[in-house]
Chain A
C-alpha cells in the first residue's frame, strides 16, 4: 500500500504523463509503470496475474492481480502526478478513488465516469497507481485487498504491487523494483502467462471478462511485461492503460474506489457500508475463520451478485475478501504460499478470475467482498460491470479480497471487512487507511458504523483491541468512530509491505547476474541478495553503500526531503572468493599521484586534458600537471591509452603503496604486535575463561594474520595477566622458562620489559606454550577478586610505544574494575534512571579517564578488543570507550560458562585474531565540491573534523559518513566521493586504500525517492540515534526518528505521489519497508528497553551497532526467520523466510531465527514427530532439551542439511552465533518472542501494523 512503489513510477511512465512534470517522474514512473504494471497486472490480474502470481507469488499474484487495482494505483499515481494533465486529473480522481474508494467509492464510481478517462490515465496513472495504487485504487483497494491478499505483502506491495512492478510490490514488483524494466520483463512474461492462466481461472467465474482483460494485458503486457512486477499491479493498470477498456475498468475501479471511499465517507457508503457492515462483520469473522473461505467463495459469488451495487460488493466483498484472506493467511490456505492464492486459490482466483473475467460481475462481488472497497467498487464494478477491465481489476482486487485483507492490514484492523474495504484503500497507503478513515472516517466510518455498526462494530471492537494499538491507530479513526477502529483492527498484516517479499523479490531480480559498478547512480542489490560485483570504476557495494544513489542537487531539496545522505563504508571488507581484492599499485618513490589542491588520489574521476599533460580533478576541478613518469597519451575519446592497465584509472577500489612520507615520524612502520591481556582474578578463573583462553591461544599462535599464507606472520605477540596488579611475561626464546614480571604500580603504568615481551611466535614457541600451560595453574587458587582495567590498557599501550609499533590488545576481562587504580569505577547501575532525562548518563562513561586514554591509544595505533565475561554489572558504557574509539570490538559473554559458551567465545576469538586488519589507520573522505562529509559514525576517534583515525581497522568495521551540501551539485557530474584509508598492513607495509564512488544528482525529488536504499538509511538512522542517546533522552531520540521518517514520507507524498486523499498512506517503493524497519529500531533494547534488559546490554548493543555494516544491521533489526519444516534436505536453497511475527509461526513447525548474534530454534508444540526426529533425534516434543547449545549430529539428510545451513549462516556473520533451542510455551519463549519484531513487544514497542498506523498519522499531520 504504502508501498507506493514509486519505483514503478520512475521507470516508464514518463510517457504517459509527459504532462505531469512533477509527477512526471512520479507520474511517469508511476503511471508508466503502474500503468504498465497495472495493466499488466490487470491483465495478469485478470487473466495472467493469477496464474502469474501463482507462479511467483502465486497467491500474491492472484491478489496482485486483484490488486491490479494497481490500475487503481495507476489511478492513484495519476492522482499524484495526475495533477497536470487530464490523466493527471484522472489520476487524481483515481487517487481520489483510491483513497476515496474506501469511503466514497460509490462517489467515485460516478467520477469513474471521469475516471474512466482516468483509467486511461490510470495507465498513465498506473504509476500513481503503482505508488499508491493498491490503496489508491480503491478498486484496487479491494483489488488491493486482492492484491494484497495475493501478494501477502501485496497489500502493501499491492499498493506496491503496482509499485511492485516498481520493485517492492509483489515478486513482480520486486523485479520491477530492481530494474523496473528488467525485473518486469522477467516477471512480466511469466505474469502474463499466469494471467492467462489466471484468466483461465477467472473464466470459471467469468471467463469472458477475464479473457478480455487478459487479452488486453496480453497485449499491453508485452509492453508492460517489462514491468512484470508491475504487471501484477499493472495487470490492473495494464488493463487500464493498454486498453481503453482497462481505463474503463479503471474507471470502474476508480469508481469502485471512489465509491468505496465515498461510501465510507459519504453517507452513501453507509448504505453500502451498512450492507457491508452487515455482511462484513459476519464475513470477517467468517473470513477469519478458515471455514469462511468456502463461505467466502460462496459469498463472493453471492457477494458479487449482490454487489451488483455497492451493497453487493460490500456484502460479499467483505466476507469474501476477508474470508479468503484470512483463511489463506490464517487458515491453511494462508500458510500455503498461496496464502493469497490459496485463499484466492480456489475462491480468490475464481474471484479473481471472476473478477477479471467476469470481473464486473464477480468483481462486483469481489468488490463487495472487499467490503467497503468492494462495496464501493462493487458499485463501480457494477457500473463498471461493463468495464470488464475494471472488473478485472476489481475482481482481482476482490479476489484480492486480499485487498480486503490488505485493507485490513492497512487499516490495521483487518478484521473488519468494512475496514478492509477501507483499509484496502487505506492500505494502499497505510495512510490511506487512516486516510480513508479520515476521509472515510466520517463517511466510511459512518458508513461502516452503519455497516459495522450492527455487525461490524462488534467484530471491530475485538479486533481493535487485538491488533490496534491505540497509538498506532490513527487518532482520526478513534475520533472518527469506534467502528473505524474496528475496521482498522482488521488490517491484515499480509497487506502491509513485507520485508520478506522485498528481499525475495530482490533476490529474484538481481541475484542472478553480476552487479557491475560502471553505471553511475545505480542502486546495488540488497544486502540480503547474493550477487557478484564487477568493479568497473566505482567501489563495490561491499565497500560502500549509499542511502541515496541519486543525491539532491542542492540543500533545499535535501532539507525538504529529509532523506539522509550518507554512505556506509567498510574499507577493508572481505570479498567473496570469486571477486578479486583491490590491486596494489606501486608508484615507487614518488608515491601516488594526487590533486594539487584537494589532495585527492588519482582515480577514474580525474579527467586528463591537454593531451595527457595535465589532469583535472573531479572533486575540486583543480588542474594538476601530470608528472613526467606518469605521462601517457590520450586516445580519441580523451582516455589515457593505458587506462585499463592501471587500476587507479579504471577501478573503483585499489591500493597504493605508501611512501615514507605517509609514515609516522617519517620512518617505515614496524610490523604490528598482538598483546593478550588476561584477567586472572577469581571470577575469571572460576568460570573457566582463563584456561580456555590459554588453551586456545596455543593454537591461535599459528593463525596470526599474514598477507602471504606461505610466510610466517610478522605479527609479534606478548602476554599479560592481571588482577589487581599486572603480570607481564618474558617469553624470550633463549629462556628455558617464561618469566613473570609483576607490576603493581598500577597508578602509573609502564612496561617492565621490552626484549622478550613481544616475540616472534616461531622463535619462542616453546616458551610461549609453556607459559600458556602454566598460567591456569598459577592462578588456580587465586583469591583475588578485584581487578583493574585502565592500567591494563595503559600497559598494552606502553608496550606498543616501547616497541614503537602499532598493534592490537586482546583483553579478557571479567568484572567491574574497583581496585584502586586510574580508571577505577564504581557500580552505578540504577535502573530507576531508565526512561528519565538522566538516562543518557548511563550511556556515558562515568569517568573521563578512558577518553584520554583512548586518545593516546589512537595516537600510537593501539587497537583494543575487549572480551567481557561479567557476572554482574561491569559498566560496559565506560569500559567500551577505548575499544570503540580505537576501532576495536567488544564481545560480551554474560554469565559465561565454559560448557555452554565455549564454542561461541572460541570462535569469536579465533576469528578476531585471524581476521585481516590494518593498523594505525587514517581515513579521509573527499567529495565533489558541493557536498561535504560532515559527520561520521563508528568505532574510531577524530581529532579534527575531517580525519577519521582508527588505531585498528578490521574487515568488519564500518564507518558511516553523513554528507551535507555546502553548495550545489550538478546533475551532469553527479556527486563523487573518494574514501582513502592510510593504514599499516599486518606485515608492516604502509598502504593507501582508495575507494571511489560516484552517484547521480537529481533536481527532482522523485528521482531521489526512486533510488534510495532503505537498509542503508536505517543503518544511518540507527547509528545516528544510538549516538544521540548519549546526549538526549531516549524518548526524544525515538520521537525525532519517527519525525524524520514521517517527514521523508510526507515529502514524498506531497511532492512525488499523485494527489490523493490524505487518508491514503503512500510509500515510495524504495522505502516501503522504512516503517517496519524503523519500528524495529525504535523497539530495540537501546531505545526502548524492557525491564529485563541490563544497562550493560544496552551499552553493549549501542556500541556494537555503531560499527555495523548494512547487512549486519539489517538482520540485527529484522531477524531472519526460516521455517524448517519447509526445508528441503535435497535442495541447496533455503526455505523462504517468514515474517517476524508470532502469527506466522505454526504450532506444527520448527523455525530457525537468526539476528547476527543468536540463533534460535523454535519448536512448536505440535511439531511433526518426524521433523523432531530428524532434528533432535527424538520424536517427542517433551524430550527436547532446551539447554542444548548445538544440535545433535544425526545421520539423516535433514539434520545434515540443517547443520550445514547453521554453519553457513554463522559463517556469514562477524560473530559466532550461539544456538538456543526454544520450545513453544516454554519460559525461554519470552526471549525468543522479543525477536519477533513485527509483533507488539512486551516493553511497549508497537506492532508493525500499529506503528504503520502511527506513522500514517504522523504523515498526515505533516501534510495538513
Chain B
C-alpha cells in the first residue's frame, strides 16, 4: 500500500479532496478527542483535463430525502438491474436507458476512477453570462483613464454572447442604457436614498419582470434581453459601450476643500443587485464593482465626507468607535444575501491608497463567491493584470468561472455535516445528514456558491455521530458525496458528483493508524479556516487562545512525552510540521490585525477562505527561496537566519512577491557588475529570482504585489515581518552564527513558541 502521502496526493488529484484525517474515528467521543475535526477541503471544480463530462443525467436515489447519485461505491445487481444507495440503502432500479448495463458494460459513474464525475444536463435554455460593470467615477483622472482602458479591453475578453451592463456612480448613480442609438441614455438615482427592489425595477422601466424563473429555469435570454435595455450582448453593443466608456467623465460634482467626494457605493450596489434580480434571477451574473474610495453617503456609507474624520481603524473598531460600521455591514450583508439568493456574485476591485470599506463590503464577495482585488491604483499592473486574469481561459478555451452553483453534501449514516467555510451561503436545507452542531456555515446540507473558479475550495466539517459503544459501522467505510450543480461558463448546466469514502478506525485500538492518516497540511488549513471564521465574529485574542488550546490538546493527544518534561516531548512525523504552521498562522494577517487596516485584514481573510490547500499554506507560511552562487535555488527556512548578505531571497506570501537582495548582492548590483560581461553569472543570478517570480505572477490570481527590494530597503519590511524572528535585537549574538538579519521585534520566535508549547503540552495541569 502506498503511503498516506501518496494516497492523499492521489485523492487530491482525483477528487480535489484533502481530509484532515484519512481514517475516521468510529465514535463521536473519539472524534472529539482527536481535536482536529473530521473535515476536508473540497475543490468542487478542480480542473480535470482527464475527465470529460458525460452527456447524460445522473441517476439519483429514489428516496425522497436522499437522492444520492449513483456512484462507484454503490452495490449493483447487474442482473436485477438494481443498485443500492450507499447512503440510505434504498434499492433502486436503473432507469430504462441503463437497460444494457452489465458487469462488463458499466456506465462511467460506476467505475472507481470516476469517483468524481461531471454530467452535462439539459435544464432549460442556456443563459448567457452577465457582466455588470459598476464603475466609480470619483477617481483621479489618471485612475479613471486607466480603468476605462481596462474596461474597454475587457470587452474583447468577454464571451461574445455575454450580456454586459454599465452602471457608473459617484454622487449619483447612473444606469446606462446600452441599446439606444444616438444619444446615450442613462437612468440616474440619487445616492442617498434606499429603494426597494420593486421601486428600482419600476424606475428602470422593468416593470414587466419576466416570470420569475425557478431555480435552474432561467428566463429565455431573448425575452430577458428584450425586456432589459441595460444588459445587452457584448457583441452588439461593443462599439457603443467602448464609446460610452471613453466619454465617461469624472463625477462632475465639485468636491469642496477638506471633503471626500460623495460616493454612493451602497446604493449603486443595491441598484445593480436590484436590476439583476428583476431581470435575470437565478442566472449566473457578475457584478463587478470598481471603486476608488470608501462609500461616503447614503446607506452603506463607511465614512463621512469630512476629510478630518479618518476612516475607521482597528483601533476605532475595538473601541467601538466606528459609527458607520455596523449599519454599513448590515446593509451590505442584506444585499449580499439578496444577490446570493439570485445566484449573482459581486466582485470588488478596490484601488486606492487608503481604505475603501472592504471591511463592510467584504460579505458581498464572501457570500457570493465574488473576487476582491485590492490595489493602490487602477493604473497599476497589479490591477490591470488581475482584472485581465478574471477572464482567463482554461485548456478548453473556456472561462475559468462557473456560476450559480449549489453544493449538496450527502453523508453515510455515521456522519453528519456540521458546516462549510468558504465563499458560500447556506440554503438552509435540512436533511438527515445535517448535524446539530455547527462549524462554519452550518445547519444545512446545501450551500449556494454564486461564482466559483477551479481553485475555489471549501472547507467542510463533519461530525461523527456513531455512539462510543456502537460497533464500527458495517462495511467499514464512511461515505460522503458532494453534488455540485452549476452553470458552466459556456452556459451549460453541469453537475459534478464526487463521492469519497474513508475507513472507519477504532480509536482505541487503531490510534496509531489514525495518527499516521493525519494530513497536517489540510488540518492546518482547516483549523486556520475555523480560526479565521471565528475571528470574523470574535475578538482576536480569544481566537488565538482557542487555537493555542487546540494545538496544545492535539500535542497532548498525539505527542510522546513524559509528564512535566518538556524535553521529552516528541511528535510523530505526520504531525511534525503542524505546530510550525500554527506558529505562522498566529502571526499571519488573518489573525493579527496589527499593522493591517481593517480592509487589508478583510482582503486577506477573503482570499484565505477560498483558496486551495497549496495557496492557503503559502498564505499561512510563506515560501522562501534562496539564490546564491553556492548552488541552485533552494527553499530555505522562513527564518531571519536565512537573510544573508550574499543571497537573493524570493519570498512568496501569496499576496506579495518579495525579491530581497542581500547586503552584498545589493552593493554589487549597485556597482553595476551585472552589466559587465565578465560577471555574466552575476547577471544570471540576479535574473533567476525574477524569472521565478514571473512564473508565479503568471499564474496567480489575484496578482500578488511585486516587491523588489534589498537589504536596508524600506520595503524589506515585507520580508522581515514574515520571517521567524529567530534573531532579534534581544538575542542578536546569542546564536553566535555568522549571519542572519536581526529582526527588530518583540514577537516570540518559533523556538520560544515551541518551548512554550512543549511545556504546556506536558504539563499535567493543563
A756 touches B182 (CB 8 A): no
Given A732-B249, A752-B172, A753-B252, CB of A744 within 8 Å of CB of B184: no
CA distance A1200 to B185 in the complex (A): 51
Given A732-B249, A754-B252, CB of A742 within 8 Å of CB of B202: no
Residues of B within 8 A of A743 (CB): 187-189
Indicate which residue in A735, A741, A774, A777 contacts B174 across the interface (CB closer than 8 Å): A741
CA distance A732 to B189 in the complex (A): 20
A745 touches B190 (CB 8 A): yes
The smallest beta-carbon distance between A596 and chain B, in angstroms, is 39
Indicate which residue in B185, B186, B203, B249 contacts A756 across the interface (CB closer than 8 Å): B249
Residues of B within 8 A of A774 (CB): 182-183
A-B contact count (CB 8 A): 73
B50 at the interface (CB under 8 A from A): no
Most chain B beta carbons < 10 A, residue from A738, A742, A771 = A742
B183 touches A778 (CB 8 A): yes
Chain B, range 159-213, C-beta contacts under 8 Å to A: 172, 174, 177, 182-190, 193, 195, 199, 202-205
CA distance A553 to B288 in the complex (A): 80
21 pairs from A and B in contact (CB 8 Å cutoff): A725-B187, A725-B203, A732-B249, A738-B183, A739-B183, A739-B186, A740-B186, A742-B185, A742-B187, A742-B188, A743-B188, A744-B187, A744-B202, A745-B190, A745-B203, A752-B190, A753-B188, A753-B252, A754-B254, A777-B182, A802-B253
Residues of A within 8 A of B187 (CB): 725, 741-744
CA distance A727 to B174 in the complex (A): 12
The 6 closest A-B pairs by CB, nearest first: A744-B203, A755-B252, A752-B188, A742-B187, A740-B185, A750-B190
The smallest beta-carbon distance between A745 and chain B, in angstroms, is 6
Residues of A within 8 A of B223 (CB): none
Residues of A near any B CB (own CB < 8 A):
725, 727-729, 732, 735-745, 748, 750, 752-756, 771, 774, 777-778, 802
B190 touches A741 (CB 8 A): no
CA distance A735 to B243 in the complex (A): 11
B247 at the interface (CB under 8 A from A): yes
In the complex, residue of chain B having the shortest beta-carbon distance to the beta carbon of A753 = B252
In the complex, residue of chain B having the shortest beta-carbon distance to the beta carbon of A775 = B183
Residues of A within 8 A of B203 (CB): 725, 744-745
The smallest beta-carbon distance between A37 and chain B, in angstroms, is 74
Residues of A within 8 A of B249 (CB): 732, 755-756
Residues of B within 8 A of A741 (CB): 174, 185-188
B205 touches A744 (CB 8 A): yes
The smallest beta-carbon distance between A1096 and chain B, in angstroms, is 31
Indicate which residue in A727, A737, A740, A748 contacts B190 across the interface (CB closer than 8 Å): A748
CA distance A188 to B79 in the complex (A): 139
A737 touches B182 (CB 8 A): yes
The smallest beta-carbon distance between B233 and chain A, in angstroms, is 22
Indicate which residue in B172, B183, B205 contacts A737 across the interface (CB closer than 8 Å): B183
Residues of B within 8 A of A753 (CB): 172, 188, 252
In the complex, residue of chain A having the shortest beta-carbon distance to the beta carbon of B254 = A754
In the complex, residue of chain B having the shortest beta-carbon distance to the beta carbon of A749 = B190
Given A745-B195, A748-B193, A754-B253, CB of A740 within 8 Å of CB of B184: yes
Residues of B within 8 A of A738 (CB): 183
The smallest beta-carbon distance between B298 and chain A, in angstroms, is 12
A771 touches B188 (CB 8 A): no
B183 touches A740 (CB 8 A): yes
Residues of B within 8 A of A742 (CB): 177, 185-188
The smallest beta-carbon distance between A673 and chain B, in angstroms, is 15
The smallest beta-carbon distance between A722 and chain B, in angstroms, is 13
Residues of A within 8 A of B190 (CB): 745, 748, 750, 752
Indicate which residue in B174, B177, B199 contacts A752 across the interface (CB closer than 8 Å): B174
Given A753-B172, A753-B252, A755-B249, CB of A745 within 8 Å of CB of B184: no
The smallest beta-carbon distance between A737 and chain B, in angstroms, is 6
CA distance A744 to B201 in the complex (A): 10
In the complex, residue of chain B having the shortest beta-carbon distance to the beta carbon of A732 = B249
CA distance A753 to B248 in the complex (A): 13
A736 touches B247 (CB 8 A): yes
A728 touches B252 (CB 8 A): no
CA distance A1062 to B671 in the complex (A): 127
CA distance A934 to B254 in the complex (A): 44
Residues of A within 8 A of B186 (CB): 739-742
Residues of B within 8 A of A745 (CB): 189-190, 193, 195, 199, 203
CA distance A893 to B321 in the complex (A): 62
CA distance A732 to B250 in the complex (A): 13
Residues of A within 8 A of B183 (CB): 729, 737-740, 771, 774, 778
CA distance A519 to B249 in the complex (A): 64
20 extra interface residue pairs, beta carbon distance < 8 Å, beyond A725-B203, A736-B247, A754-B253? A728-B188, A737-B182, A737-B183, A737-B184, A739-B184, A741-B186, A741-B188, A742-B185, A743-B189, A744-B189, A744-B204, A745-B193, A745-B195, A754-B252, A754-B254, A756-B249, A756-B252, A774-B183, A777-B182, A802-B253
Residues of B within 8 A of A802 (CB): 253
CA distance A771 to B174 in the complex (A): 19
Residues of A within 8 A of B202 (CB): 744
In the complex, residue of chain A having the shortest beta-carbon distance to the beta carbon of B188 = A752
The smallest beta-carbon distance between B500 and chain A, in angstroms, is 52
In the complex, residue of chain A having the shortest beta-carbon distance to the beta carbon of B247 = A735
The smallest beta-carbon distance between A755 and chain B, in angstroms, is 3
CA distance A739 to B182 in the complex (A): 9
CA distance A786 to B728 in the complex (A): 77
Indicate which residue in A727, A739, A777 contacts B247 across the interface (CB closer than 8 Å): A739
CA distance A752 to B203 in the complex (A): 14
Residues of A within 8 A of B188 (CB): 728, 741-743, 752-753
In the complex, residue of chain B having the shortest beta-carbon distance to the beta carbon of A777 = B182
The smallest beta-carbon distance between B243 and chain A, in angstroms, is 8
CA distance A841 to B183 in the complex (A): 44
The smallest beta-carbon distance between A788 and chain B, in angstroms, is 12
Most chain B beta carbons < 10 A, residue from A737, A752, A774 = A752
In the complex, residue of chain A having the shortest beta-carbon distance to the beta carbon of B174 = A741
Most chain B beta carbons < 10 A, residue from A732, A740, A774 = A740
Residues of A within 8 A of B252 (CB): 753-756
Residues of A within 8 A of B184 (CB): 737, 739-740
Residues of A within 8 A of B205 (CB): 725, 744
Residues of B within 8 A of A737 (CB): 182-184
CA distance A1176 to B199 in the complex (A): 60
The smallest beta-carbon distance between B196 and chain A, in angstroms, is 12
Q: Mark B235-260, 1 if CB is under 8 A from A, else 0.
A: 00000000000010100111000000
Residues of A within 8 A of B253 (CB): 754-755, 802
In the complex, residue of chain A having the shortest beta-carbon distance to the beta carbon of B172 = A752
CA distance A405 to B205 in the complex (A): 74
CA distance A752 to B184 in the complex (A): 14
CA distance A149 to B241 in the complex (A): 85
CA distance A750 to B267 in the complex (A): 15
CA distance A737 to B172 in the complex (A): 21
CA distance A755 to B253 in the complex (A): 7
The smallest beta-carbon distance between A224 and chain B, in angstroms, is 77
CA distance A771 to B202 in the complex (A): 26
Residues of A within 8 A of B174 (CB): 741, 752
CA distance A754 to B253 in the complex (A): 6
In the complex, residue of chain A having the shortest beta-carbon distance to the beta carbon of B244 = A739
CA distance A744 to B204 in the complex (A): 7
Residues of B within 8 A of A777 (CB): 182
Most chain A beta carbons < 10 A, residue from B172, B182, B183, B254 = B183
The smallest beta-carbon distance between B297 and chain A, in angstroms, is 12
CA distance A520 to B555 in the complex (A): 113
CA distance A611 to B189 in the complex (A): 67
Residues of B within 8 A of A778 (CB): 182-183
The smallest beta-carbon distance between B250 and chain A, in angstroms, is 9
Residues of B within 8 A of A728 (CB): 188
In the complex, residue of chain A having the shortest beta-carbon distance to the beta carbon of B170 = A753
CA distance A737 to B246 in the complex (A): 12
CA distance A740 to B244 in the complex (A): 12
Residues of A within 8 A of B204 (CB): 744
